[in-house]
Amino acid sequence: MYISHLWEWQCLCCCINLVPLSPPSLPPSLPPSGIIAKELSSLEQEIQELRASGTTLSSEPEFEMADIMYFCRRGMESIVDDEVTKRFSAQELESWNLLTRSNYNARHISLRLSVLWGLGLFIRYGFLLPLRVTLAASGIGLLVVLTTIVGFLPSGWTYLSEKIHLMSYRICVRSLTAIITYHNSENKPKNGGICVANHTTPIDVIILANDGCYSMVGQIHGGLIGVVQRAMVKSSPHIWFERSEVKDRHLVAKRLSNHVADKTKHPILIFPEGTCINNTSVMMFKKGSFEIGCTVYPVAIKYDPRFGDAFWNSSKFGMVNYLLRMMSSWAVVCSVWYLPPMSREEGEDAVQFANRVKAAIATQGGLVDLLWDGGLKRGKVKNTFKEEQQKLYSKVLVGDQEDQGEDRPQEAEEEEGDQNEDRPLEDYTPRPLEDYTLRLLEHCSLRLQGEEEERGSETPMRVGVPLLPGY
Amino acid sequence: MGSTNSTLSRIPNVEELMQETGFTPAHIVRLYDRFEALDKEKTGHLRPQDFGAINRLAMNPIGDRIIGSFFSTGQETVDFHSFVRILAHFRPADKNRPKDPSMPQPVNSRTSKLKFAFQLYDQDKDGKISRAELLQVLRSMLEMQVTEEQLESIADRTIQEADLDKDDAISFEEFRKSLEKVNIDHKMSIRFLR
């Protein structure tokens, strides 16, 4: 096993003349912001600019025909590239890593590069791929056989079962040539807790399970995966749900809490985003796992995209195709940071706790912390956001209403919990942008989660709040 | 997945498209990937609902109009070529283009951009922005934030200022004149990073 590993290292080193292969120990800087240059000026600034070049001389802002251009351009920009949708496709690299799949600007640069690419292709497909497939097959085979055998032994043999699991995962990790650096192992998840991590690919499971024993949660499948699942559960308590049970939230929560209450069982591994995101950002965490009320061990996983893109775009590739791609990339290089355990504090509800954990993971991994829901991969957004835009624009146009003493129709804000009747005027003095933006984002995240009617403590939205960054 | 060449070869008449719109091959590939990402059902065409999935666009007060501008009258779907042609309006203007009045205006010239903006107002395409059309735009941009009287007074004031031949509507020439000092190229351009 070590010999094969060494061989692969030799090949990688002589073929790729990239920077040192050791993964970075500090979180990497944020990735470039997209394929188009977005102006970061706000709506107010842009409208002022339009005014300055426009024909009106009066100091009071008025409607200009050109104002529509601002909205038009923003709309077109979002059609070409937007913050959320692009998280569901692979991250682009600044320099080419000799994999055709990451190359958008394929131009013939030089003969040398093409030769190098050809050589890389031969090595990857002719040598590395067969080796890896063999390893993977043996790893999975061993897992199934050995766990079934251990299942027949009396239940005192948990030590053996752990060893078997660890060994099989290590073989699988080798089969992907995953070079993993674990940081802060003193914070490794302990029994009776829940481990949460950001989700990029199904391989995340193998990466984490390589270093410790976890109980997996998931739906039971048919086919090969089902066989593996059933074998695994014979020797160690994983939580597999039938398809019908998945819909029943209470049942799920109950099983999870029962598992957690038993201190001899391994920590549960959960990915609260619910879907695979492309490893440049962390999307909204679903609150279900944070309601159980036990210690949460956050883990941040960051893949180095130079060696192969680990993101699983489930709409583009099936699982087998994805695994083949993974095995024919150079390697899977990643860093795993174990963060200190967190628990829900007094007066904090599940959503706030989830956001706190998410922010910690995003900071550690150098990912963008987004408040949008991963479910937007397949769904839509709500109508109230349009009204926020309109509010802002009208504020610019018609001026500060307090000065004119009119009572604005903004009291038609029934949707945001009518607690803002008798605000004194000083509440409307401008506050730092971050403050507003944070509150708006918080407000938006509350809205995005759907079934929140029972929540009575929703913070009311204030008038004249600037919008999401980028507008 | 795949190199630029293989993606380009999947697009029919791509040479003509690049010629017409001035996009580079890399841009076309990027736009094609974006088109495919939006076209979730892989029909090769986009419908208004597919644009609706973009949340930033759904938030935009004139989002519906922008979506509508992609579909010519009577058409319910837009294919990749039309998609690119519309987006080509937003390419930054080529500074070095010789000003030859006999040649047709490229799609990203100042005049074309102005025409595009004009059409956002002029939904019935009669060549004039009537008071009613102006009111509609104002209503979508301001909705419940101002009263109906305020909207009407804004509309009246705007028409008064811009309407030179006093026909109570704004023609394209009047529109152009009222925007002559605005840096259209800056306001209506999207810069691709690579």
**C-alpha to C-alpha distance for B167 and A446, rounded to whole angstroms:** 50
Residues of chain B with Cβ-Cβ distance to A409 below 8 Å are: 144-147
Nearest to B182 among A66, A391, A397 (CB): A66
Interface test with A, best of B8, B170, B182 (most A CBs within 10 A): B182
pLDDT tens for chain B, 194 residues long, are 445 567 777 788 888 888 888 888 888 888 888 888 888 788 888 888 888 878 778 888 888 888 888 888 778 888 888 888 888 888 887 766 666 666 677 777 888 888 888 888 888 888 888 888 888 888 888 777 778 888 888 888 888 888 888 888 888 888 888 888 888 888 888 877 65
The vertex-A56 CA angle with A52 and A62, nearest 5°, equals 90
Q: Judge if B82 and B145 occupy the same domain.
A: no
Q: How far apart are CA B63 and CA A76, in angstroms?
A: 9
For B134, the domain range is 107-189
Residue pLDDT, tens place only, A168-227: 888 888 888 888 888 888 888 888 888 999 888 888 888 888 888 888 887 777 777 788
Domains of chain B: total:
2
Could you tell me if residue A195 is left (phi over 0), alpha (psi between -120 and 50 degrees) or otherwise beta?
A: beta
Task: Answer yes or no: is B102 within a domain.
Answer: no
Q: Which of A27-41, A251-265, A410-424 has the lowest mean pLDDT?
A: A410-424
- Give the domain CATH number at B141: 1.10.238.10
* One domain, residues B47 and B120: no
Contact A386 B194 (CB under 8 A): no
What secondary structure letter does DSSP report for A228? H
* Degrees, nearest 5: CA angle B65-B66-B68: 60
| Count, residues in chain B | 194
User: Does B153 lie at the interface with A, CB-CB under 8 angstroms?
Assistant: no
Give pLDDT, residue B98. Answer: 64
Please indicate whether, in this complex, the C-beta atoms of B142 and A389 are within 8 angstroms of each other: no
Q: In whole angstroms, what is the distance from residue A212 CA to residue A122 CA?
A: 35
DSSP assignment letter at A294 = S
| A215-219 and A268-270 beta bridge pairing | parallel
CA distance B40 to chain A (A): 9
| A68-91 mean pLDDT | 77
Nearest partner of A198 among A295, A308, A87, judged by Cα: A87
Torsion of CA B2, B4, B10, B12, to 10 degrees: 170
The DSSP letter of residue B188 is T
In this prediction, residues A127-152 reach a mean pLDDT of 84
Note whether A412 contacts B144, CB cutoff 8 Å: yes
Query: Considering CB atoms only, which of B37, B53, B144 is closest to A409?
Result: B144
CA A239/CA A461 separation, integer angstroms: 41
Let me know if residue B98 belongs to a domain: no
- DSSP alpha helices (H): ranges in A184-283? 203-209, 223-235, 243-246, 249-261
CA distance B30 to chain A (A): 8
Closest partner residue to B3 (CB to CB) among A106, A315, A409 is A106
pLDDT digits (tens, 9 = 90+) for A315-345: 667 777 888 888 888 888 889 999 999 888 8
> Which residue among B56, B90, B157 sits closest to A82, beta carbon to beta carbon?
B56
Cα separation of A228 and A230, whole Å? Answer: 6
Query: For residue A47, which amino acid is it?
Result: I
Gap between the Cα atoms of A93 and A91, Å rounded: 7
Q: Residues B71, B23: one domain?
A: yes
In DSSP terms, which residues pair with A5 in a beta bridge? none
pLDDT recorded at residue A11:
46
Q: Is there a single domain that holds both residue B112 and residue B77?
A: no
Quick check: is B97 in a domain?
no
Tokens (6 digits) for A54: 């426009």
pLDDT digits (tens, 9 = 90+) for A261-297: 888 888 888 888 877 887 888 887 877 778 887 888 9
For residue A31, the chain B residues in CB contact (below 8 A) are: none
- In this structure, the answer to whether residues B84 and B113 fall within a common structural domain is no
Chain B nearest-CA residue for A397? B142
Query: Hey, of A76, A108, A309, A440, which one would you mutate to test binding to chain B, going by the most B CBs within 10 A of its CB?
Result: A76
Question: A169 near A136, Cβ under 8 Å?
Answer: no
Which structure tokens are listed for A94? 């600044």
Residue B95 maps to a domain: no
Does B30 sit within 8 Å of A77, measured CB to CB?
no
- The two three-digit tokens of residue A18, written as one number: 């990239």
Q: Which of residues 74-103 of B touch A (CB under 8 A)?
A: 87, 90
In a domain, B194, yes or no: no
H/E element, B174? helix B172-178
Query: At what angle are helices B25-38 and B80-88 packed, to 10 degrees?
Result: 120
Question: Which residue is listed with tokens 């403050």?
Answer: A435
Residue ranges per domain, chain A?
37-92+383-398, 111-377
Using an 8 Å Cβ cutoff, are A141 and A172 in contact?
Answer: no
Of residues A325 and A470, more confidently modeled? A325
Q: How far apart are CA A126 and CA A20, in angstroms?
A: 25
| B125 and B49 inside one domain | no
Q: How many CB pairs under 8 A join A and B?
A: 195
Predicted confidence at residue A299, as pLDDT, reads 92
Query: How far is CA A438 from each of CA A117, A151, A442, B152, B188, rounded to the nearest angstrom?
Result: 47, 51, 6, 36, 30
Q: Is B143 an 8 Å CB contact of chain A?
A: yes
Q: Which residues of B touch A464 (CB under 8 A)?
A: none
In a domain? residue B101: no
DSSP assignment of A389-447 equals HHHHHHHHHH--HHHHTPPPGGG--GGGTT--TT--GGGGS---HHHHHHHHHHHHHHH
Average pLDDT, chain A: 70
Q: Is residue B79 part of a domain?
A: yes
Place of tokens 């001899």: A264
Give the Cα separation of A183 and A194 in Å (integer): 18
pTM: 0.55
Residue A104 and residue B29: Cβ atoms within 8 Å?
A: yes
Are residues B84 and B1 part of one domain?
yes
CB atoms within 10 A of CB A415: 13
Residue with tokens 């960054």: A469
Do B82 and B1 fall within a single domain?
Answer: yes
Q: With respect to residue B148, please indicate whether it lies within any of the assigned structural domains.
A: yes
Averaged pLDDT for residues A115-127: 84
Phi-psi region of A182 (alpha: psi -120 to 50; beta: other; left: phi over 0): beta
| Of A244-248, A382-386, B155-159, highest mean pLDDT | B155-159
The answer on B124 and B74 residing in a single domain is no
Quote the pLDDT of residue A38.
63
- The label of the residue with tokens 């190098």 reads A116
Cα–Cα distance, A126 to A350 (Å, whole number): 50
- Give the residue carrying structure tokens 């604005």: A408
Listed in sequence order, the residues at least 6 apart from A79 whose beta carbon sits closer than 8 Å to its beta carbon are: B34, B51, B54, B57, B66, B87
The model's pLDDT over B53-64, given as tens digits with 9 standing for 90+, comes to 787 788 888 888
Q: Do A389 and B193 touch (CB under 8 A)?
A: no
